[in-house]
């Protein structure tokens, strides 16, 4: 499997090229039928740092709209709501990640997948190259946010 990378300052975030990506920093990988498995990208995991809590407010089977709030995640750096990467039917949640969210820190592209969705369409998902372009366009704002300077003017 080949990878592309994005440098977050001195930190490297890798992105496998065998999947698609959502603008909300989730990856999606086809599961052989009509379903996609989703998890957090290395970019998201790096920004969060040390995930220790995961909670779902939506349980399968459930109809989802794109960007619908579906849960929450807490880490050393942030508390954040989780949103559906696209519209479809939530078919499964990874109980292993729910039971031990710290696996997200260790294997974000493997055992730490979060959910499976049977999507209505996948057109809004990005190729790995388009996702990296998205990251490049948003990196300056992300850096200010990381440094706690989101409300300052240059």
Tens of pLDDT, residue by residue over 28-49, are 999 987 999 999 999 999 989 8
Q: Answer yes or no: pTM beyond 0.85.
A: yes
Question: What is 27-78 written as a DSSP string?
Answer: EEEE-SSS-EEEEE-HHHHHHH-SEEEEEES--SSEEE-TT-EEEEEEESS-
**Backbone conformation region of residue 134, classed left if phi is above 0, alpha if psi is from -120 to 50, else beta:** alpha
The angle formed by the CA atoms of residues 10, 147 and 98, to the nearest 5 degrees, is 80
Is the CB of residue 37 less than 8 Å from the CB of residue 65? no
Return the pLDDT at 145: 62
Is the CB of residue 38 less than 8 Å from the CB of residue 92? no
Return the pLDDT at 150: 43
Using CA atoms, how far apart are residues 44 and 40, in angstroms rounded to an integer?
Answer: 6
Instruction: For residue 154, give both structure tokens.
Output: 């240059």
Tens of pLDDT, residue by residue over 99-139, are 999 999 999 999 999 999 999 999 999 999 999 999 998 87
Q: Is the pLDDT of residue 143 over 80?
A: no
Tens of pLDDT, residue by residue over 49-81, are 899 999 999 999 999 999 999 999 999 888 999
Domain covering 3-146: architecture: Beta Barrel (2.40)
Return the pLDDT at 126: 97
């Amino acid at each position: 499997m080949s990878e592309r990378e994005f440098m977050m300052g001195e930190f490297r975030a890798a992105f496998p090229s065998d999947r698609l990506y959502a603008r909300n920093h989730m990856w999606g990988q086809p599961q052989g039928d009509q379903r996609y498995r989703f998890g957090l990208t290395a970019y998201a995991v790096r920004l969060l740092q040390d995930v220790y809590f995961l909670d779902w407010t939506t349980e399968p089977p459930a109809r989802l709209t794109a960007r619908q709030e579906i849960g929450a995640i807490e880490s050393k750096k942030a508390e954040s709501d989780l949103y559906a990467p696209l519209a479809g039917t939530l078919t499964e949640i990874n109980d292993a990640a729910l039971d031990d969210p710290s696996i997200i820190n260790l294997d974000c592209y493997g055992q730490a997948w979060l959910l499976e969705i049977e999507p209505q369409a996948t057109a809004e998902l990005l190729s790995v190259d388009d996702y990296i372009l998205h990251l490049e366009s948003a990196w300056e704002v992300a850096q200010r946010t990381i440094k706690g300077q989101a409300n300052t003017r240059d």
